[in-house]
Amino acid sequence: MKALKITGISFLFILLVGIGLYVSGYGQKLAFQAFAAYGKPAGDFLPEDAVQAPDYSKNEFWAALPTKDDPADLVPAGVQAITQGEGEVDTFFIHPTGYLKSSSWTSPMDVNSATEENTLWMMANQASAYNGCCNIYAPRYREATIFSYFGAVEERDEVLRFAYEDVKRAFDYYIEHYNNGRPFIIASHSQGTHHARLLLKEVIDSGDLYKRLVAVYMIGSVNIPVSPSWFASMNHISACESAADLRCVVHWDTMADDSDAIERPDSSLCTNPLTWKVNNEFAEANLNEGAVVPEGAYNLSFGKDEDLATNQEFVALDSPIKHQTGAQCRNGTLFVSSQAGTNFDAMGSGSSGNYHGLDYALFYMNIHNNAKLKVKTYLETH
């Protein structure tokens, strides 16, 4: 088994900072505030300062397409996938934050950058989970910098709304030019999940597209809850309650078992990916169908440094590791066994126990197989 390759400091520490979630304590809060103040982009966010909007008629503005050779095509050793472009169902994947710089509030979209390598990392280790069932479409977009999550909620939401408009335009283009009437899955992580929330509410649930929606894997929303009030605002989309449920949402945030539940302004959906149920029952590790150690390195050069690419390639995914951990939902958070000393150790965040970066990795094959089940169920019943 290859060692997990992570550049810079702990991967999860940066993701932890990136979502504004940090361990309580006066000294730690001061350190966080100093870090955020130093790294924050200069001036207020102004949409006119962003680079030109992506043109989704051009392949270069898609991180994954069935017609491209891209890292979303990678398959764990010993696992089967469909031939891209031949699937009866699509997955529209919205990637999380890879832009860790403060030169601008949104990504400059430089293909030769660490940011765009991070997007490819996400294709390899997250979007690829859906290539067992589906043709994968994943847009590049002017994502919000990680520092957008550090300040006022109003500021964060303004930058996220701007980034979302790219995602919405990409989805509209996908529906008009690529989808050809096929059913589809929406899948996402972290910042991508924040955009998926809006896409579901404003585009899919509000019209007829919900009829072709197979399911939503809206994972890792963390401190923006997938709340009962959000579901109450939907007309046709609810929370999944079993493995084969359709037109519904699954969501979880992963923490180590000896840590505290995530604090949020409202309660949040917690789906146990080992049972696909919404309850507080403990699911044994023998239900874990395979965790997959991530391929490649997530670039952690952030703040005021240059956004330099490392010229890495994403070559292959390791074989799944069965029974890596059990899981239990408590207080809206998914708790798993400590990964200290395992091949996933570098994805941890020290004493905080935040496993945001393991939301996909620990349950890769459960996601892969459940997406196949939901697609099979949809095609048999429609």
Q: Is 82 part of a structural domain of the chain?
A: yes
The pair of three-digit structure tokens given for residue 38, joined into one six-digit string = 């130093």
Quote the mean pLDDT of the chain: 91
Q: Does residue 45 contact residue 162 with C-beta atoms inside 8 Å?
A: yes
**297 pLDDT band (50/70/90 cuts)?**
confident
The pTM score is: 0.93
Query: In this model, does residue 305 exceed pLDDT 90?
Result: no
The pair of three-digit structure tokens given for residue 71, joined into one six-digit string = 């890292």
Q: What is the pLDDT of residue 151?
A: 85
Q: Is 294 part of a structural domain of the chain?
A: yes
Q: What is the rounded distance in angstroms from the CA atom of residue 238 to the CA atom of residue 61?
A: 31
Query: In this model, does residue 24 exceed pLDDT 50?
Result: no
Query: In this model, does residue 80 exceed pLDDT 50?
Result: yes
Q: In terms of C-beta density within 10 A (0-12 exposed, 13-18 middle, 19 or more buried), how is residue 219 classed? A: buried
Q: Is 1 part of a structural domain of the chain?
A: no
Query: In this model, does residue 324 exceed pLDDT 50?
Result: yes
Classify 98 in phi/psi space as left (phi over 0), alpha (psi -120 to 50) or beta: alpha
Query: In this model, does residue 373 exceed pLDDT 90?
Result: yes
**2 pLDDT band (50/70/90 cuts)?**
very low
Query: In this model, does residue 1 exceed pLDDT 80?
Result: no
Q: What is the rounded distance in angstroms from the CA atom of residue 9 to the CA atom of residue 11?
A: 6
Q: Is 328 part of a structural domain of the chain?
A: yes
Q: How many domains does the chain have?
A: 1
Q: Is 3 part of a structural domain of the chain?
A: no
Range of the domain at 180: 11-381
DSSP SS3 for 220 = coil
Structure-token match 């995530």, residue found: 262
Q: Does residue 171 contact residue 54 with C-beta atoms inside 8 Å?
A: no
Instruction: Give me the mean pLDDT over the 3-32 stretch.
Output: 45
Query: In this model, does residue 7 exceed pLDDT 60?
Result: no
Please count the other Cβ atoms lying within 10 Å of the Cβ belonging to residue 36.
Answer: 16
Give per-residue burial for 267-289: e unless 16+ CB within 10 Å, then b: ebbbbbbbbbbbeeeebeeeebb
